[in-house]
Amino acid sequence: MTLLLVAFLMAASPTDEASGLVSQARQALDGGDFDRALALLGKASTGASGASLARVELLRGECLAALRRYDETEQAFERALNADPEAALDPAAASPTLVALLDGVRKRLTGQLAVVSDGLDELTLDGAVLSGPPAVVTTSIGRHRLTARWGDVSRSTEAVVSAGRTTTLTLEPPPAEAGSGPHWLAELKLGFQPLSPSATILAGAGLRYGPVFASLHAIAGNAFGLELHLGAFRTRLAGPVGLLGSLDGVLFLGSTAVPGLGPSGGAFVSLGEHLELTVDAGYRRFFTTAPVVHDVFLLGLSVRALL
């Protein structure tokens, strides 16, 4: 029996022992016995690391705060974040003052994030566009979200930055054909004629290859027709925002077919890899066997899906 007990004690992991000491320290803290709580936490910290050490130091900080030793509280919180940059107090159990103090320490501590990638056009960190694709970025510790863009292809990932350390993140660029190969597209557009207030709905599909695109739309409004768009240019300004232009041919179908021709130009914003929102303005000149029928100015708002 004695041998079995010894074997059991030898098999108990240091983590389990530290967890038990932390639980006892929590009970002592809740009971107001701060000296006993600190003594237990001192034992629990021996050999602890990572999340286990962070848990010890967070509770130590709570004990020290109860004793109004706020400088030492801050030091304990810093040790906790050095051990685990994602360490956090339970907002339902800890006082708002301590939660705010821990967040303040977290913002003060920094680490470095090294981004390794080929052909990267743009990098955003937590939604903020960086000045370029730098090799190393200094930022606050904790979890961060990065979005990398290669041409029209964007990918997002997360990385955890530790205090005083460099976290290296390797981003694999997409295959060459992913950004420049052909893509089928579907588009739904609402068009306005501001000079003679009226609206039309256009729905169609097309093909995009690199900076060039072509699409065919059906027009429903005062009359039914078809509209062909041939993309002349498509380039980005900054981030997901860019410019586009096209030469458009129109054919209204009725008792007499009425053809038209004119340019369009506007701006688009990419809402991910497969969705774009476009605002454009265009001009149409319509022809018949008689002289020119009329000129039309158009404003359009469209949603385009890349398939």
Confidence band for 304, pLDDT divided at 50, 70 and 90? confident
CA dist 81 and 107 (Å) reads 11
pTM over 0.75? The answer is no
CA dist 64 and 72 (Å) reads 7
Q: Contact at 8 Å (CB) between 166 and 136? A: yes
> What does the H/E/C string look like for the chain?
CHHHHHHHHHHCCHHHHHHHHHHHHHHHHHCCCHHHHHHHHHHHCCCCCHHHHHHHHHHHHHHHHHCCCHHHHHHHHHHHHHHCCCCCCCCCCCCHHHHHHHHHHHHHCEEEEEEECCCCCEEEECCEECCCCCCEEEEECEEEEEEEEECCEEEEEEEEECCCCEEEEECCCCCHHHHHCEEEEEEEEEEEECCCCEEEEEEEEEEEECCEEEEEEEEECCCEEEEEEEEEEEEEEECCEEEEEEEEEEEEECCCCEEEEEEEEEEEEECCCCEEEEEEEEEEEECCCCCCCCEEEEEEEEEEEEC
∠ at Cα 306 (305, 307), nearest 5°?
Answer: 110
Q: Contact at 8 Å (CB) between 112 and 167? A: yes
Cα 221 to Cα 202, 203, 227: the distances in Å are 9, 12, 13
- Strand order, beta sheet including 110-116: 136-140, 110-116, 166-170
Q: pLDDT tens for residues 44-59?
A: 888 888 989 999 999 9
Fold of 110-177: Immunoglobulin-like (2.60.40)
CA dist 286 and 231 (Å) reads 20
Q: pLDDT tens for residues 100-132?
A: 999 999 999 999 998 888 878 788 889 888 866
Q: What single-letter amino acid sits at 31? A: G
CA dist 103 and 180 (Å) reads 44
Q: pLDDT tens for residues 225-253?
A: 778 777 765 666 666 788 888 888 887 77
What are the sequence ranges of the domains in the chain? 2-108, 110-177, 181-306
Q: pLDDT tens for residues 147-179?
A: 888 877 788 899 999 999 999 988 888 765 444
CA dist 285 and 27 (Å) reads 83
**What pLDDT, on the 0 to 100 scale, is given for residue 232?**
60
Structure tokens at 280: 């454009």
Strands 136-140 and 110-116: antiparallel
User: Given this chain, do its domains 2-108 and 181-306 carry the same CATH topology?
Assistant: no
**What pLDDT, on the 0 to 100 scale, is given for residue 8?**
40
**What pLDDT, on the 0 to 100 scale, is given for residue 145?**
92
Residue 264 has pLDDT above 60, yes or no: yes
Q: pLDDT tens for residues 13-30?
A: 556 667 788 888 888 888
Q: What is the CATH number of domain 2-108?
A: 1.25.40.10
Q: Which CATH number fits domain 181-306: 2.40.160.20, 2.30.42.10, 1.10.150.20, 2.60.40.10?
A: 2.40.160.20
- Could you tell me how far CA 175 lies from the centroid of its own chain? 21
